[in-house]
Amino acid sequence: MAYSVKLAQAKIMNNKKISPIYRFFKRVFDFLGALLAFVILFPLMILIGLGVLIASRGPVLYRDCRMGKGGKPIKILKFRTMYADANDHPEKYFNATQMQQWSKERKVDNDPRIVPFGNFLRKTSFDELPQLVNIIAGSMAIVGPRAITEDELKTYYKPEEQSIILSVRPGLTGYWQVHGRNKVTYESGERAKMEMKYFEKMGLFHDFVIILKTIPALFRKDEAM
């Protein structure tokens, strides 16, 4: 089925509004699941925090502004894996080619801004564990489209796609993370399409399937979430 037809179906579903029952049970699952994961993983998070502090001698947590449900800006939490001025002054660390890649993908291969211990956190996605707090607070979900910046939203998504993306909370994991990740980019045009695929089968069962696929995706050697 052509992508345009699938997108039309997603738009129809979005216009009819997402089922309140689905929203309710998804929120209950997100809250309880994130709270349980936070309790279980808290000792690991303490160790990671100490590791970041020792390796970089700077703030342990990094707050990044992204687009939330309804277009509301949210601050997502991460363990800091870069030098403190990495985002404010990327030109300090990047060459011309890296700057070009950063402007398009918000990611750079072999990023020179990453502090010691940072690559390990990124490869395992342990740097995103603090986002469990975002989920508990209600600004994120366990499964959903990737949390993106306003620039990404306006540059790589059509107006109708933007409204669909912003109709739900961004997810800690999602369709793109488990099926594409670093191999599927904005530049190729495939990442935006892959993000939209989540809405074609959106539901509790589909969310559960994505969660199951997340674990093996974390250990693919050629990719990082």
Is 207 domain-assigned? yes
Report the alpha-carbon distance of residue 74 to residue 68 in Å, rounded: 6
Who's near 64: CB < 8 A, 6+ residues apart?
75, 76, 78, 87
Confidence of residue 223 (pLDDT cuts 50, 70, 90): very low
Tell me, rounded to whole angstroms, the distance of Cα 153 from its chain centroid.
13
**pLDDT at residue 201 is higher than 60:** yes
Instruction: Calculate the dihedral angle through the C-alpha atoms of 165, 166, 169, 173, rounding to the nearest 10 degrees.
Output: 30
Torsion region of 79: left, alpha or beta (phi above 0 gives left; psi -120 to 50 gives alpha):
beta
Is 223 domain-assigned? no
Which domain covers residue 31, as residue numbers? 3-81+117-218
Token pair listed for 68: 């939330």
For position 119, what pLDDT does the model report? 85
Confidence of residue 165 (pLDDT cuts 50, 70, 90): very high
Confidence of residue 1 (pLDDT cuts 50, 70, 90): very low
Task: Indicate yes or no: pTM above 0.75.
Answer: yes
Is 109 domain-assigned? no
Report the alpha-carbon distance of residue 37 to residue 214 in Å, rounded: 15
For position 149, what pLDDT does the model report? 92
Confidence of residue 6 (pLDDT cuts 50, 70, 90): low
Q: Which of 116, 126, 142 is nearest to 35 (CA)?
A: 142
Mean per-residue pLDDT for 7-15?
Answer: 54
Identity of the residue numbered 64: D
Q: What is the pLDDT of residues 43-102, one digit of tens each?
A: 999 999 998 888 877 789 989 999 999 999 999 999 998 887 777 788 888 888 888 887
Report the alpha-carbon distance of residue 15 to residue 32 in Å, rounded: 29
In the block, residue with structure tokens 């309804």: 70
**pLDDT at residue 196 is higher than 70:** yes
The CB-side HSE value for 133 (13 A sphere, CA atoms) comes to: 14
Question: Based on the structure, what is the number of domains in the chain?
Answer: 1
**Regarding beta strands 61-67 and 73-79, do their DSSP bridges make them parallel or antiparallel, or are they unpaired?**
antiparallel
The DSSP letter of residue 162 is H
Is 62 domain-assigned? yes
CA distances 124 to 89, 120, 164, 220, Å, are 26, 6, 29, 10
Is 112 domain-assigned? no
Is 224 domain-assigned? no
